[in-house]
Structure 1
Amino acid sequence: MIILGIETSCDETAAALVDDQRRVLAQRLLSQHAEHRPYGGVVPEIAARAHLDHLDGLIAGTLADAGVTLADVDGIAATGGPGLIGGVIVGVMTAKALSVATGKPFLAVNHLEAHALTARLSDAVAFPYLLLLVSGGHCQLLIVRGVGDYRRLGTTIDDAAGECLDKAAKMMGLGHPGGPALERAAVGGDPARFALPRPLRGRPGCDLSFSGLKTAVRQVLDRLPPGPLSARDRADLAASVQQAVTDVLVERGARAMALFVEETAGGAEAPAPALVVAGGVAANGTLRAALDVLCADRGFRFVAPPLALCTDNAAMVAWAGLERLRLGRTESLDFRPRPRWPLDPSAPRPAGAGARA
């Protein structure tokens, strides 16, 4: 079985072919960083137009790289949401057109589920497992019980961790994309120099908050001498922000581990539970290292997909589509792209939550 995956939910235009032997046969990805850098963030209209300009060529190139044709493909998967709706529409309409032209099934993939299932592509992780989904737009802790079966333990009540890192980088003048720029700037910095808050740490539950941390970064910058940051101030502040985000995610993750064990405890022969980290922020080395230590302390297996599969990509979309096709879960052509698409629709809205919860 071979699935063509299409990803257009934000500022990455991507196509990939994945088979049921967990092989990525070919993939192409075009980043739009140069187009958005002058604005310090992603501009939805620019992103949608770039997807429209380049997606057909990326699909054709991916097929050529793998030496297959659309006749060899068993299904067409595209991110159906959540995401910037203009870009999502481009990908969905392209996938529908290919489905009609070839007679192959159309598979609408939840972008969050694609991240959630990536560990099954890269590491063959068995259900159930604990997931820390952490990116620029989403920050959640979930029990992954199966395809389409999720229980949310905690979510951000305001901003996502990735947004916090991106905005801190922008305030510090580090450029776009902010998260990777801040990680580079933090090398050699003192993470203890600036006393930044760890929102919600120590409180009951697994919900998260990062809005106050962004505010604290702004206040630190206002107290520093005017003008460009010195190399030392830049490194120390970047390291302090990165460490604060990491500390919050580790503490909330430890709470989620305890809940996971309570809800899924197996017998004496049950394998060690797994903590999977996914999403763009999962590429951060400091976070990975801290979660690895946490898992070793708690008896969990730590799984972090390869860096190229953490950020938005089409291989994860193709794999999620393959998992759905195996179960016979295809979509009709009247599927409507979704700007929001929760993994656990039954999860209660956390107290104080903003629009993203």
Structure 2
Amino acid sequence: MTVLGIETSCDETAASICSDGKILSSIISSQIIHSSFGGVVPEIASREHERMLNSIVSNSLSDANLKLGDLDAIAVTNGPGLAGALLTGVSFAKGLALGLNIPLIPINHLEAHIFVNFLADPTLEYPFLCLLVSGGHTQLWLINDMEIYELLGETRDDAAGEAFDKGSRILGLGYPGGPQIEKTAQYGNPNAIVFPRGLMDPDSLEFSFSGLKTSLLYFMDDFQETPDCRLPDVAASYQQAIIESLSEKLARAVEKNGVKTCVVAGGVAANSRLRLVLKNRIKNVRILFPDLEYCTDNAAMVSFLGELKFKNSEKSNLLFSVLPNLKLN
């Protein structure tokens, strides 16, 4: 079975071909135009998707040495995300599916991030824990089977990725914040400054990053570089506070649920410091990370999950709408 996946939930325009569980192509166009605004501008994102989609899909087919007539189905992200951006991708996918007379299935963006870990390790078995960390979500899930998920904890305010973006802006490092802070932090001391960690009660699996962000803001109001405390030290300490919150809660969830495997999903999963800390913190349990190219938004995860759902007899439906606030369960 050969499935075209389309992803336009935020500021990446992406298309991918998956055939029999293998990714034949994965094309991503990142909208660097947003960097000058310090964040994603929804209207601009929608326009860029509309401008790029046709060529991205064509390039994806070309890279896979396929034509439109070789497709058996299409999968497209319909939420969560920016309404206009989602609508651009869904409208394109519906028109294409209708014209080719092939099935179309909507894909939950969060679910796709989780299931891309099966590309990293096809032997992954249920149940497993998932730490889902991105710009819009920070959640702990117990994945019992496909579409059987239990939410164990989530952020009460900012997501981890959002904390990186806002922190980067405060530090004057630019957008996107995660990569900028990680790059700067590699030259700093993560123990130079003790920033607060939110909701660290022994039994809590909830997250909070708003207090950390405020603490950084106040710290930078009076900050002047000295030999003992430089900007890289601040970035490293701020990053460490985020990562320690994530690693501590995942370790607690492992202890409470007794699973044998943990996976990490979402854009923040690309952070090398997070990977190192989690591998050192989570003991006697296998921990999986997606390949770096599949951490941030991509269509490979959409085409892959689309094929899984078709093979699990999920029915095609052209009447679905975009759901900007779509939940996982």
TM-score (norm 1): 0.89
Matched positions, count? 328
Provide the rounded CA distance (Å) in 2 between the counterparts of 1:332 and 1:309: 27
Deviations 1:274-325 (A, max 9, x none): 1100100000011101111223x2x110100111000000000111111111
1:174 counterpart residue number: 173
Mapped partners of 1:247, 1:115: distance in 2: 22
Residues 5 and 222 of structure 1: CA distance in aligned 2, closer, same or farther (over 3 Å): same
1:153-198, Cα deviation, whole Å (9 max, x unpaired): 0011111001001110011110111110000000120111112001
Q: Deviations over 1:33-72 (max 9, x none)?
A: 2x10111011111111100000111001110111111221
List alignment gaps of at least 5 residues for structure 2: none
1:183-202 matches, within 5 Å, as 183-202=182-201
2-side partners of 1:4 and 1:177: how far apart?
28
Alignment partner of 1:8 is 2:8: yes
Cα drift, residue 231 of structure 1: 11
Q: Distance in 1 between matches of 2:116 and 2:326?
A: 18
Q: Is the 8 A contact 1:4 1:77 kept in 2?
A: yes
Match of residue 301 from structure 1 = 286
Indicate if the aligned counterparts of 2:120 and 2:288 stay in contact, CA closer than 8 A. Answer: no
Which runs of structure 1 show a deviation greater than 3 angstroms over 4 or more consecutive aligned residues?
228-232
> Residue 115 of structure 2 aligns to a residue in which SS?
helix
Secondary structure in 2 matching 1:130: strand
Shift of 1:19: 1.7
SS in 1 for 2:230: helix
Amino acid at match of 1:89: L
Unmatched segments (≥5 aa) in structure 1: 265-272, 345-357
1:278 to 2:277 alignment: no
Write the distance in 2 (CA, Å) between the matches of 1:230 and 1:122: 43
1:343 corresponds to which residue?
328
SS of the counterpart of 1:136?
coil
Change (3 A) 1:331 1:232: farther
CA contact (8 A) 2:190 2:236 kept: yes
Q: Which amino acid aligns with 2:324?
A: P
- Quick one: percent identity of the two aligned structures? 43
Assess, with a 3 A threshold, how the Cα gap between structure 1 residues 289 and 92 changes in structure 2: closer, same or farther: same
Aligned to 2:303: 318
Distance 1:69 1:305 in 2: 29
Query: Structure 2 CA distance, aligned partners of 1:217 and 1:142?
Result: 29
Once residues 50 and 194 of structure 1 are traced to their aligned partners in structure 2, the CA distance between those partners, rounded to angstroms, is: 41
Aligned to 1:97: 95
Q: TM-score if structure 2 supplies the norm length?
A: 0.96
